[in-house]
Structures are given as C-alpha cells and as structure tokens.
Amino acid sequence: MKFFVDTANIDDIAELAATGLIDGVTTNPSLVAKAGRPFTEVIKEICDLVEGPVSAEVVATDYDGMISEGRKLAAIAENVAVKLPLTWDGLKACKTLTGEGTMVNVTLCFSANQALLAAKAGATFISPFIGRLDDINLDGMELISDIRQIYDNYLFDTEILAASIRTANHVKESALAGADVATMPPNVIKSLAAHPLTDKGLATFLADAEKAGIKV
C-alpha cells in the first residue's frame, strides 16, 4: 500500500519525505490556506520535496473553469495530480484532462456507483471518504471493498485512494480491503509505529543494559 500524507505543511512533509515512507501528498484549498502563502507557490514547493503525486484541487465548479484551472495546476510540475470533485462536470473534466496526460484525483466519493463512473472517465485515483461515511453511521470500509471488487471485475487501472482516514485502525482496514493508497494526516502516519508493548519492551532492554553496564 502506498502512503500519501494529507497536509500542506512544508515542515511536516519534509520530515516524512526524509523517512522514505511516503509516496505522495494530498492537499485541498483548506489545507493550503493554513500556510498563508500563494496557492501555486505552496504546491510547487511540495512537488519539489516529493517525487510522487501531489494532489492540487481546483476551486471552479463548472467544466470550463475546471479545465482552465486544471491545466494551470498541471503546469506547475510533472507530478501534480489535479483534484476534481465527483460531479457531472468534474467527470467530464476528468475525461478531458486524463486524455491530455494529466493525473487526476477524483475526490468526494461516497458510493460505488460514483467510483465506477470515475474509473470510466479515466481517473488516476478515486478518493472514497471513509471517516465522513462513518460519521453518518455508514461503513466506509464496505465502500472500499465494493470498489475493489468492481475495479477488479473490469480491470480498471484507477487506484483506490482511501481518504478521510482518522485512525491507525482505518489504515489497517483499508489495507485489508485492498485500497491501493491511504492518505492521512502526519500524526496518523506517526501513530502507526506506536504500540505500548514496544515501549515496554524497549524500557526493559534499556534497564537491563544499564544494569549490565553494556555500552556499544
């Protein structure tokens, strides 16, 4: 499974990129706004930090506006994935932009039928929002599993990018359900390494080493 970090914070991205554990970045206008800098400037800096896809979202809601903004975003760097909403105009724009060789991340997916349409439109990534489905007492993981089966049935190349991930358990369940990518905030990525028994075992080893006077 690929890991994308969901942030526009340059320091967090640089720290995680140095570990070699992340494969890309997802952003949205809200995340970039927190940086307090010009949108395109932030996206360019992120693209310089990571080799993998960097999702940059349009703000237009009509086809012509999405195409115009999408082309501007794609021109920032070769690894930009233009992020489009899963609307009718978004699907039309997806077909056009992918036809031009641009990576497209179709976002705000909440049903298997929506995911099927995105794949037929040529989306590079489809972003089902797990956490937001959980918020309304629906099973986000069931959606990942349904999309996985549909895509495998018809050999679609679109990658399932599990989004709105909030916990380490979401990551594990997404991996078990067959998601290709999980995008998550920096704190969730770091939490994957945490386990109380690891901490307890390390404390024991260090205490024993100190008693024995072991030095390396």
Catalytic residue IDs: 83
DSSP 3-state assignment of 190?
helix
DSSP 3-state assignment of 157?
coil
The rounded distance, in Å, linking the Cα atoms of 209 and 100 is 61
H/E element, 92: helix 88-99
The rounded distance, in Å, linking the Cα atoms of 160 and 118 is 11
Nearest to 157 by CA among 125, 114, 113: 125
The rounded distance, in Å, linking the Cα atoms of 14 and 10 is 6
**What Rg, from alpha-carbon coordinates, does the chain have?**
19
The rounded distance, in Å, linking the Cα atoms of 132 and 12 is 24
Evaluated on CA atoms 76, 78, 83, 86, the torsion sign reads positive
Q: Pull the structure tokens for residue 189.
A: 């990525």
